Structure 1
Amino acid sequence: MNVLRTKRIWVAAVPLLAAGAFGLFQKPASAEKPSSAESIARCATRLKTSFLGKGATDAELKAADPQAAVDAYLKAPEFVELFSRFLNSELNPAPGMTSAEDATYHLGKYILSNDLPYKDLFLGKFNVVVPNAQQPNNVVVQPDPNGLGYFRSRAWMVRYAGNELAGIKIVTGYRIMQNITGLKLQAVSNAEGVDTSKAGRSAGVCAQCHFQDWSALDKVASILSVRKGTGDTMTFTPPTTATVDIDGKAVTDDASLVARLVESENYNFNTCRLAFKFLYGRPENTCESQVFDKCVTEFKKTGKIQTALSTIAKDDSFCQ
């Protein structure tokens, strides 16, 4: 699958931004709906291009209220495809080597097509599988009582198992936190001969990111399964730690970790940031705090990312 990729730079770490999103930003100037024929046509074009990736029709260019079409756009197959590809590009650093590795795309498309809550992308009882190994591009989403969004789908697990010496899945833990909250950490290359074991990571400047912050990589990874082997023969054994504290709550495994992250304000914040990036091609600006806060409020009511997108696109400021 040739999955569309549009990577953009994350402007700051989520824990800092989440505090600023509700009250510290400036309020934007009041906006009004477009009135002239030219501004209506411009609004219609912008909406159709943003949601469906194509130009507006003659009728849409002359519609009295172009933003009234947003609800219909959100149900269109073109939107489902476009947004699923966008999600895949935002929640993965690069395209997968196989279609199954792009589990975010497949489950994202399933969630949107079935009008499910956005959190099901991470918490839903699903498995992204290849039923027939002879048809590797035939990827399907199946119900699975042991599922955890796409995080327990084998292709995704193998892709992000990492190469830590003892099989500690540091990469997996980071990808889970990044996907749900937008956490951004910068990897640093060590000089040759530096101890990269758990003991080495617990010393010096490495300790903060690996053991001390709320998102401490080794701490989070310690309650995940342990990688054994590589490639197609890779297996996973039970975690080495029973419980860790994540931002004041006990976490015992991948499921409780994901649940803890989804109930956080950072999850709501990151969802609206993704909606902004999809519609505007960039994260929100400080002067857009009013509509951003409204996005968070409305998203909490339904739990659906379509609500976040609709709130932003229907705001008068979108068609200024």
Structure 2
Amino acid sequence: MEPLRDHGASCLPMMIMVLLCLGGAACGQLSDDFYDDSCPKLESIVQARVAAAMKAELRMGASLLRLHFHDCFVNGCDGSILLDGAESEKLAAPNLNSVRGYEVIDAIKADLEKACPGLVSCADVVALAAKYGVLLSGGPDYDVLLGRRDGLVANQTLANNNLPSPFDNITVIIQRFKDVGLNTTDVVILSGAHTIGRSRCVLFSGRLANFSAANSVDPTMDPALASSLQQLCRGGDGNQTAALDAGSADAFDNHYFKNLLAKKGLLSSDQGLVSSPDGAAATRALVQAYSYNSQRFLCDFSDAMVRMGNIAPLTGSAGQIRKKCSAVN
């Protein structure tokens, strides 16, 4: 299966950044051709598995993207989120019963161990799976920089304390991004990943309590949306899900930003990019810009994914190439 390519308009800023990364130390020892000789079928193998998973369940594309995000924010992009054990990041509150797609990563890794054993890290598999989750959802193509090695330890405490939460205000979220080397613009761009995927009622039902058309506890939510969500979540166990991007749930586009301007953000952390009094001025203008210009969002998202994928990667002789993603060798 040949890797799918987007033949639309190119994203020049992202392309320039990749060239800069390849020409200096800014992106460590990662490169976009790291496996070209040693495992030439790598991307085709990843694409095929992600395509099959998304055919069975379309939202898996969003889940794989989120898996990459939650990996990179803890110990850097080292595949530590995949490790089992008492300190597993899988068991941290932001990940438990929330992060999904581990079985897709395991299937890809098994295929790669047959095609090119001992060569491709689980961390790189996670990064590539996220890329194809985006692309097969209609999002942009981008060159994933590769050459990460796998971490040896998970960090459940850091996962509990450092991952951005849907309950955090914008000031806190901006700081959490800053702590891993990302900026306020990255907050807005990467929040745009919520153009696909779903969220559980437990993560947004606090915005709906005692709702009525005349008196909402959260005036930043559109009344009609709040009413429909209240019906969805009432009497449930909190695990019912709603689309993060109402009206365009399965298409990777800029509709998410249009929703925020119409008070239709599902999570308080999303709506806070426009409506929060603490820091929203720094993010509102970007939301407006992306709502008007889809191509700018897609190009900037590609750029931001390259930056996020370069958070503290292990390279050279650090870490290892795990044979099985859930355990060290």
Please confirm whether the aligned pair reaches a TM-score higher than 0.5, indicating the same fold: no
Which protein is richer in strand relative to its size?
Answer: 1
Q: So what's the TM-score if we normalise by structure 2?
A: 0.27
Structure with max Cα Rg: 1
Q: So what's the TM-score if we normalise by structure 1?
A: 0.27
